[in-house]
Structure 1
Amino acid sequence: MSALAFTRILYRGLHSSARRNALTKMTMPAMSPTMTEGGISAWKKAEGEPFSSGDVLLEIETDKAVIDVEAQEDGLLAKIVAPDGSKNVSVGSTIAILAEEGDDLSGAAELAANATKEASPPPKAEKTPEAPKVPEPSKGSSPPYSRKATAFSRRPIAKKIALERGIPLSKVKGTGPDGRIIREDVEKYKQLEPGVIPSTPADSSADYVDIPLSSMRRTIAARLAESKVQAPHYYLTVDIQMDKVLKLREVFNKSLADKGAKLSINDFVVKAVAKALEDVPEANSAWLGDTIRQYKKADISIAVATPTGLITPIVKDVGSKGLATISAEAKALAKKARDGKLSPHEYQGGTFTISNLGMYDISHFTAIINPPQSCILAVGSTKPSLVPSAEDERGFKTVNVLNVTLSSDHRSVDGALGARWLTAFKGYLENPLTFML
């Protein structure tokens, strides 16, 4: 939960009683230090509806998750400025007008209109030819579409579809009774970037679908493109024999069966990463431009695929935790990530990232560094492989091999340092009993 930003406005109603009333501008809060804009996923209160301290007012879509915003005090939702489905709303922009019960709300609409004008960029001054006069409609013609009549008048199914597709209802023209937005209106709506003109009418038989970018997907694209361009990546790959880890995991899982817990290969990987960072702390770092920040604790970011994109919840201070604790925390964080319920402190920060695609039977891949971190480890699947053996008279034996690739930022972690870290990491996984030392 983040503290909301409010601006107190005193409004004197133009009535005989001239009662003094306090209207409050509710602005888009910054749910994280780096957040500059967000989206309105859904309002949980309707216009004119009262609320109490602690009630959820709305859901805000950030670049990482959908976060509930709670009221800090009792009040009443006088006017919604940014409706459901609004995208790219700048932090500090007015999203609603609040009041106290019993207040005169006649000034709410005016405040909302002024806030909308302030948020709109001024038109560019251009010399354009005088527009031809449009003839006035005849008496029998239908009245023009009124946004005021339809901005918050919609059917529940239309609202649901709009939220799923990221369609701003304020831009959808309603064709139902009294301008009500119905399901067909939302399904026919085609969202375009500002200034883009469709070359052809929407065709339901087209063999493609244009998917609007969510705030999360837009941020992922920007951050990873920046990382790939600015950070000089290099890659180190090594094969690790996992037979001892597999045997130890089997023993541990038998002892944990009564508790309903189960260790995964990734739990051992996370622990080995932390142990290797203790041996080579220079890899537990971040490039900050003028300085290299070296961390004292291993806060491991674990990449999790969600319906809206990739997110990296963090298992904090892994070096101080056992395998069972690491496993429980990682599973709980992954579930919250897929449900879109992570709190900012659960995914912001981190000192080293792990991306594991082994469950998809991917044997080898490289990953893009999660800035400003210096390293990310790409983990593939464990596969049986033939290796030379002095003990076997045939000269070969079958072992289970895990392929991992370390991506490093050469500005903060050079090749020799990356090789030292990867050697330490391999040593811990090939001799997992050293976790307990």
Structure 2
Amino acid sequence: MQPFRLAHRGLGPMARQAPASALRHNALRASAFHSSSNRLALQKFMMPAMSPTMTEGGIAAWKKQPGDTFSAGDVLLEIETDKATMDVEAQDDGIMAKIIVEDGAKNVPVNSAIAIIGEEGDDISGADALAAEAEKEGPPKQAEPEAPKHEETPEPPKEQESKPEESKKEESSAKQEEAPSRASGERVFASPLARRLAQEKGIPLGQVKGSGPNGRIVKADIDSYKAPAGQSAAPSAGAGAPAPSAAKSAPAPSGASYEDIPVSSMRRTIAGRLTESKQQLPHYYVSIDVEMDKVLRLRQVFNEASEKKAGGDAQKAKEAKLSVGDFITKAAAVALREVPEVNAAWYGEFIRQYHTADISIAVATPTGLITPIVKDVGGSGLTTISASTKSLASKARAGKLKPEEYQGGSFTISNMGMFGITHFTAIINPPQSAILAIGGTEPRMVVDEAEEKGWRKAMVMQATISADHRIVDGATAARWMKAFKDALENPLSFML
């Protein structure tokens, strides 16, 4: 895996867009002015953007702990994006002074401070103060929504009336000496770390008095919070409480018959994209039966030849084996060449038609589904397709895919035949025009007048295409399915 490399000094909103040479130049300039060991030499280490579209991510694991020194090229931490876990390497030598955002943190905004670092020999005693400053600053200004105008006035409008539930909450909160008095609906300002800790501990932010600038709630306020007598620290529905969909689930009580599993960044992205696809794309489905006898015989011949060529090396023979999926991927590329209207994507004002078949293969991973891309399938042989598919699937399950290995693609295949599924429909991966769902192969009796009995047994596989009607008309999908069927039932045609 190619790790993400960055200079550890001066990383700001513009630095993540600069080339590596510029980052090195900035780091050298910073070092040139560093002539003494003092706390001013310490730097805030910001959450990096691992892709141009990334706005937030998770901290999978820190590889360096406070007090550890590191050299250029050392992995500092692993960042969890919506598709993979990526290493972040240091480009210069330094020391980890303090970690602000711990392992397992989710939804950390890009360019928010996540650690304090410096050079070896620096006085790291000032790291706590710099970290506190970072917490008070909160996320980048561009991510901070504009405050409502009434917040400029300390007194709430006289005509504003509190709801009965809010009155009860205020009465309860009054028992606490430091509990703030907030108007109904008033926005609560808190640092990202304070919000995360409040969610984990079940503390209602509406009842916490902030000690930061302008009453902003910081980590120290959460740590020192004590629930009023007779009230448990359960999330409140008042101001500042996270929405139900965003709240972190509380641990299941002892003896509970369920377990709340946190939603990963990948699972959250999958949920959003598939919901949008199913709701907004006009899906329709076309199914066809394909006789697989010739493919199965040809595959057996190839695999037997591979075993002999491997000379008893079981691992080498396994790597060289072709799967039925390899033939399916190749046949799909043949059909895309014959019916290019399907090898397309919807971009609103135009339809993009691709000249190569870059086929995404759906791979199930522990954290969700991902679709690595086998490039230029039409111009590749079965052996190349097989090797590429195996390599990408292995990297996908390990969470080590590079962005260019799963972003894009012109067509998708989802194969559930290995699980004994005979038929299913799949959801389109936008902006692609279609996705092919492959079921398992099963024996069937088919009519054959050439046979004495009038029938014969055949191995039949059912394939179903989900097509976007904005791009692919019904007749076009039917032509594509016929081309796909013809290619698989005559596999020697794409071996020439």
> Is TM-score (shorter-chain normalized) higher than 0.5?
yes
Matched, 1:293 2:352: yes
Distance apart, 1:97 and its partner CA: 1.9
Q: Structure 1 residues 7 and 226 mapped into 2: Cα distance closer, same or farther (>3 Å)?
A: farther
Retained in 2: the 8 A contact 1:41–1:66? yes
Q: Residue deviations 1:98-157, cap 9 Å, x none? A: 211122334432332222223366898595858525469xxxxxxxxxxxxxx9xxxxxx
Aligned pairs for 1:162-181 within 5 A:
171=200
Distance apart, 1:240 and its partner CA: 0.5
Q: Secondary structure at the match of 1:397?
A: strand
Q: 1:105 aligns with which of 124, 128, 147?
A: 124
Which residue is equivalent to 2:53? Answer: 34
Q: Residue deviations 1:353-408, cap 9 Å, x none? A: 10000001100000000111111000000111111111111111111111000011
In structure 1, distance between residues paired with 2:105 and 2:424: 37
In terms of fraction of residues, the more helix-rich structure is 2
Distance apart, 1:233 and its partner CA: 0.6
Matched, 1:91 2:110: yes
Q: Structure 1 residues 20 and 109 mapped into 2: Cα distance closer, same or farther (>3 Å)?
A: closer
In structure 2, distance between residues paired with 1:385 and 1:402: 10
RMSD of aligned alpha carbons? 3.2
State the AA in 1 paired with 2:59. Answer: I
State the AA in 2 paired with 1:283. Answer: V
Retained in 1: the 8 A contact 2:37–2:123? no
Aligned pairs for 1:356-367 within 5 A:
356-367=415-426
What is the number of residues matched between the two proteins? 389
State the AA in 2 paired with 1:23. Answer: L
Which residue is equivalent to 2:134? Answer: 115
In structure 1, distance between residues paired with 2:77 and 2:481: 46
Distance apart, 1:18 and its partner CA: 9.1
Q: 1:227 aligns with which of 269, 277, 283?
A: 277
Q: 1:64 aligns with which of 61, 83, 93?
A: 83
Q: 2:463 aligns with which of 404, 414, 417?
A: 404
In structure 2, distance between residues paired with 1:266 and 1:36: 36
State the AA in 2 paired with 1:2. Answer: F
Which residue is equivalent to 1:372? Answer: 431
State the AA in 1 paired with 2:390. Answer: K
**Which range moved further: 220-229 or 271-280?**
271-280
Which residue is equivalent to 1:194? Answer: 242
Q: 2:4 aligns with which of 2, 9, 19?
A: 2
Q: Structure 1 residues 94 and 247 mapped into 2: Cα distance closer, same or farther (>3 Å)?
A: same
Aligned pairs for 1:67-78 within 5 A:
67-78=86-97
Structure 1: stretches of 5+ with no match in the other structure: 12-16, 137-150, 152-166, 174-178, 180-188
Distance apart, 1:34 and its partner CA: 2.8
In structure 2, distance between residues paired with 1:296 and 1:199: 47
**Which range moved further: 393-402 or 62-71?**
62-71
Which residue is equivalent to 2:486? Answer: 427
Q: Structure 1 residues 109 and 344 mapped into 2: Cα distance closer, same or farther (>3 Å)?
A: same
Q: Secondary structure at the match of 2:95?
A: strand
Q: Residue deviations 1:325-372, cap 9 Å, x none? A: 111111111111112222222111111110000001100000000111
Q: 2:390 aligns with which of 315, 331, 342?
A: 331
Retained in 2: the 8 A contact 1:86–1:168? no
Retained in 2: the 8 A contact 1:284–1:294? yes
Retained in 1: the 8 A contact 2:4–2:86? no
Retained in 2: the 8 A contact 1:84–1:169? no
Q: Residue deviations 1:52-90, cap 9 Å, x none? A: 111111011111121111112211112212111110111
In structure 2, distance between residues paired with 1:27 and 1:75: 15
Q: 1:203 aligns with which of 231, 253, 257?
A: 253
Retained in 2: the 8 A contact 1:4–1:27? no
In structure 2, distance between residues paired with 1:408 and 1:33: 29
Moved over 6 A (4+): 121-124, 167-170, 189-193, 197-201
Aligned pairs for 1:253-268 within 5 A:
253-257=303-307, 258-259=309-310, 260=317, 261-268=320-327
Distance apart, 1:21 and its partner CA: 4.3
Distance apart, 1:209 and its partner CA: 1.3
Distance apart, 1:222 and its partner CA: 0.3
Q: Structure 1 residues 170 and 231 mapped into 2: Cα distance closer, same or farther (>3 Å)?
A: closer
State the AA in 2 paired with 1:204. Answer: S
Which residue is equivalent to 2:364? Answer: 305
Q: Secondary structure at the match of 1:8?
A: coil
TM-score by structure 1 length?
0.81
Retained in 1: the 8 A contact 2:8–2:91? no
In structure 2, distance between residues paired with 1:327 and 1:169: 49
Retained in 1: the 8 A contact 2:7–2:90? no
Retained in 1: the 8 A contact 2:7–2:91? no
In structure 1, distance between residues paired with 2:494 and 2:411: 19
In structure 2, distance between residues paired with 1:190 and 1:76: 39
In structure 2, distance between residues paired with 1:4 and 1:208: 42
Q: Structure 1 residues 337 and 190 mapped into 2: Cα distance closer, same or farther (>3 Å)?
A: farther
Which residue is equivalent to 1:186? Answer: none
State the AA in 1 paired with 2:376. Answer: D
Distance apart, 1:268 and its partner CA: 0.1
Structure 2: stretches of 5+ with no match in the other structure: 12-28, 31-35, 157-161, 163-169, 179-192, 203-222, 224-232, 311-316
